[in-house]
Amino acid sequence: MMMLLKKPSYSWWFDSHNSPRRSSWLMSTLSDLDEKTKVMLKLIEQDADSFAQRAEMYYKKRPELVTMVEDFYRAHRSLAEQYDQLKLESEQEEEITKEEVSNKIDVSEFVKLGKDLEILKEKNKVMKAELMDKDEEKREVIRQLSMALEILKEENICLKKCIKDSTKKKGLFEFNAKWKKSIFSGKLFGGNSKFQPIVAL
C-alpha cells in the first residue's frame, strides 16, 4: 500500500501573485508555474512500501518529470530573455529621454545665449555711437582751438608789426620835431645861417 508522507513546507515557494502592478501575461505564467510545481512536488513526495514499488513509480513518473523539467527550462529561459529585452528597451528609452532632456536644455541655453548676444551687440552699438559723438565733439573743440590759436598768432604778428611801425614813426616824428625846432631856433637867434648844430634837449 502506498503511503503519503506529511507535506513539507517550502519557504522558497511564493504561491501568492496578487499584485495590481503585474500584467495579465505574468499572472498567467506564474499560475501555470505554480500548478507544475505542485504536480512535481506531489510526484517527488510519493513513497512506496518496497523498493520494487519505488522503482516502478520512478520509471512510470520519470517521463512526466522530464517533461516538466523541460517546461520549466523553457519557461525560465523565456522569462529571462523577455526580462533582458525589456531591460534593454527600458535602458534605451531612458537614454533617449535623457538625450531629449539634454537637447531641450541645450536649445534653451542656446536661445538664451543668443538673446544675451543680441543685447550685448545693441549695447555695443549704442556705446560706439556715443563714443563717436564724443570724438566728434573733441575734434570740433580741437578745430575751434586751432582756429583760435591761428587767429591769436595772426593778431600777435599784426601787433608786433604795428609796434615796430609805431616805433619807427615815433622816432621819425621826434627827429622831425627836433629838426624843425633847431631851424626855428637858428632863424630866431642866428640870422640867415642855413645849418645850425642840433642841440639835444
pLDDT of res. 175? 58
Calpha distance 85→75 (Å, rounded)? 15
pLDDT at 182 over 60: no
CB atoms within 10 A of CB 48: 15
Task: Residue 29: name the closest of 72, 63, 65, 70 by CA.
Answer: 72
Would you call 196 helix, strand, or coil by DSSP? coil
Give this prediction's pTM.
0.34
- CA pair distance 171, 160, nearest whole angstrom: 17
d(CA 58, CA 50): 12
Express the helix, strand and coil content of the chain in percent, nearest 5 each.
80, 0, 20
Q: What is the pLDDT of residues 114-158, one digit of tens each?
A: 788 888 888 888 888 888 888 888 888 888 888 888 888 888 888
DSSP 13: -
C-alpha cell at 25: 501575461
Interval 175-195 mean pLDDT: 53
Q: In 3-state terms, what secondary structure has residue 46?
A: strand
Asked if the model's pLDDT at residue 43 lies above 60, the reply is yes
Distance CA 34, CA 42 (A): 12
Structure confidence at residue 200 (pLDDT): 42
Least confidently predicted of 12-21, 28-37, 112-121: 12-21
Domain residue spans in the chain? 24-107
